[in-house]
Amino acid sequence: MTSFLRRVAADTRYVLLGLPVAVVHFVVAVAGLSAGLGAAVAFVGLPLLAGAAFAARGLADAERAALPAVLGHPVGRPRYTPVPPEAGRLRRLLNPLASGQAWMDLLHGIVAFPFALVSFVLGVTWWAGTIAGLTFPLYGWIIARIPGVESPLPSWLGLPEWLVAGDLAVVLVNTGIGVLFALTLMPVLRLAALMKAGVSQALLTRAPEPERVSSSYDPALWTAAR
């Protein structure tokens, strides 16, 4: 039960908080690439591109930090080209563009946005359906008695006439829908989280480096082993 709640909480947090970050990343990538490439001839665009790449790197680091909770394993951070010690001001200013991963970070801002949007919509829809449906018995009686408010679902489901005519049918049907949302909440959240995380994993990560095994020769250890 604890692992189930942790999984639901982790996927919900990733799906809901992922959209605001994705929106910022998308704006940075589109605005930076548009302004930077458009003004690259006048040289003004290169610093703009470098600034966008630097901002995209920070957003990519935030996404990489959130991935292990969803994927269940650590992810590696790609290597970014460091600034040479003897580099001048111009080289330091444009250094974010020297790494190939910087362009992947910008690409991720554009490609991942629709996946983040779909994941967010799925998460909000299923949580809203679950909460509204399971709590419908608390307020459904009031809604069912409002003049002019009628639900065609009981009739479509073929419920008996005596049951359709009362408020009980509306409450039962809407509560049943809430139960269906609750039963499918975890797999839908898992699908939504993995859909977004898969794109991020492909564009922003690499396999973590294996632990290095020392191959140095130690006479004392060799003698003890004998």
Residues 77-111: pLDDT tens digits? 998 888 888 777 877 888 888 888 999 999 999 99
For the entire predicted model, the pTM comes to 0.79
What pLDDT was estimated at residue 129?
94
Residues in the chain, total:
226
* Band (16; pLDDT cuts 50, 70, 90): very high
* Band (40; pLDDT cuts 50, 70, 90): low
User: pLDDT tens digits, residue range 179-198?
Assistant: 999 999 999 999 999 999 99
70 close to 193: Cβ distance less than 8 angstroms: yes
CA dihedral 138, 143, 145, 146 (to 10 degrees): 150
Q: How far apart are CA 106 and CA 81, in angstroms?
A: 16
Angular region, 80: left φ>0, alpha ψ -120 to 50, beta rest: beta
User: pLDDT tens digits, residue range 112-166?
Assistant: 999 999 999 999 999 999 999 999 888 877 776 666 555 555 555 555 554 455 5
171 close to 140: Cβ distance less than 8 angstroms: yes
Cα end-to-end span (Å), the chain: 50
Q: How far apart are CA 43 and CA 70, in angstroms?
A: 41
